[in-house]
Amino acid sequence: AQKVTQAQTEISVVEKEDVTLDCVYETRDTTYYLFWYKQPPSGELVFLIRRNSFDEQNEISGRYSWNFQKSTSSFNFTITASQVVDSAVYFCALSEAAAAGNKLTFGGGTRVLVKP
Amino acid sequence: DTEVTQTPKHLVMGMTNKKSLKCEQHMGHRAMYWYKQKAKKPPELMFVYSYEKLSINESVPSRFSPECPNSSLLNLHLHALQPEDSALYLCASSHLTGTSYEQYFGPGTRLTVT
């Protein structure tokens, strides 16, 4: 069975500080996909990034960066120079691709509060 | 265009009412999903349609009835709901082939059952 754990339930920072969100996953599949989603107070889940299990290259996209390490089953996400608009709940999610549909397993979410 | 639309945004219904939630996407995705999300919880998968056929039903009560009329539309028919069914209902879509399997979500329908 797949499992995603986000140990941090809430993080509070002051604007311009960096924020790192932790995500640890469990799966028996050799091919899988990892995602980060943002859910602002409006409710819509916004797709941020995807990582395929066969690609461990870490990247930076604007103020977002991620650190994928298969050896420790971790997929951490960093927001650099946080802004008030980054305040939201962030979900890490895992899926295996299947013809029946990509069943997402979500972590419990981390609420990020960025204060001005 | 990575937009999934959902109507209505808000819905209040009595336990004897029948209503429908609608979802639409024009990204050419062949998988569509319904999720239920309670406050301070992650989304929970309800149904998956793959190539317009129901492929996953997560043991959802029969008072929720999904329908996929074509590859762009997804409906969720509601009948005889209970107050505990009050939640945010999210629709999503994704590809089924290739390597871009991320799901794109709509803004949700906030449902209140009285």
Q: Please list every residue in chain B whose beta carbon sits closer than 8 Å to the beta carbon of residue A47.
A: 2, 102-105
| Mean pLDDT on A91-105 | 83
Which pLDDT belongs to residue A30? 86
B10-27 exposure pattern, b = at least 16 Cβ within 10 A, e = fewer: ebebeeeeebebbbbbee
SS3 labels along chain A: CCEEECCCCEEEEECCCCEEECCEEECCCCCCEEEEEEECCCCCCEEEEEEECCCCCCCEECCEEEEEEHHHCEEEEEECCCCHHHCEEEEEEEECCCCCCCCCEECCCEEEEEEC
| Mean pLDDT on A47-76 | 88
In A, minimum Cα distance to B110 occurs at A43
Assign A29 a pLDDT band (cuts: 50, 70, 90).
confident
| Mean pLDDT on A7-30 | 96
In B, minimum Cα distance to A89 occurs at B40
What pLDDT, in 10s, does the model give residues B59-103? 999 999 999 999 999 999 999 999 999 999 999 999 887 777 899
Residues of B contacting chain A (CB within 8 angstroms):
2, 31, 33, 40-43, 45, 48-50, 55-56, 88, 90, 92, 94, 96, 99-108, 110
Which pLDDT belongs to residue B1? 62
Strands (E), chain B: 4-7, 10-13, 18-25, 31-37, 44-50, 53-57, 64-70, 73-79, 87-94, 104-105, 109-113
Q: How far is CA B103 from CA A101, B2, B48, in A?
A: 10, 10, 12
Q: Please list every residue in chain B whose beta carbon sits closer than 8 Å to the beta carbon of residue A43.
A: 88, 107-108, 110
Assign A19 a pLDDT band (cuts: 50, 70, 90).
very high
Name the nearest CA neighbour of A16 among A92, A85, A111: A85
Residue percentage of chain A with pLDDT more than 90: 73
Name the nearest CA neighbour of A5 among A73, A56, A65, A71: A73
What pLDDT, in 10s, does the model give residues B17-51? 999 999 999 999 999 999 999 999 999 999 999 99
Assign A100 a pLDDT band (cuts: 50, 70, 90).
low
**Cross-chain residue pair A100–B48, CB shorter than 8 Å:** yes
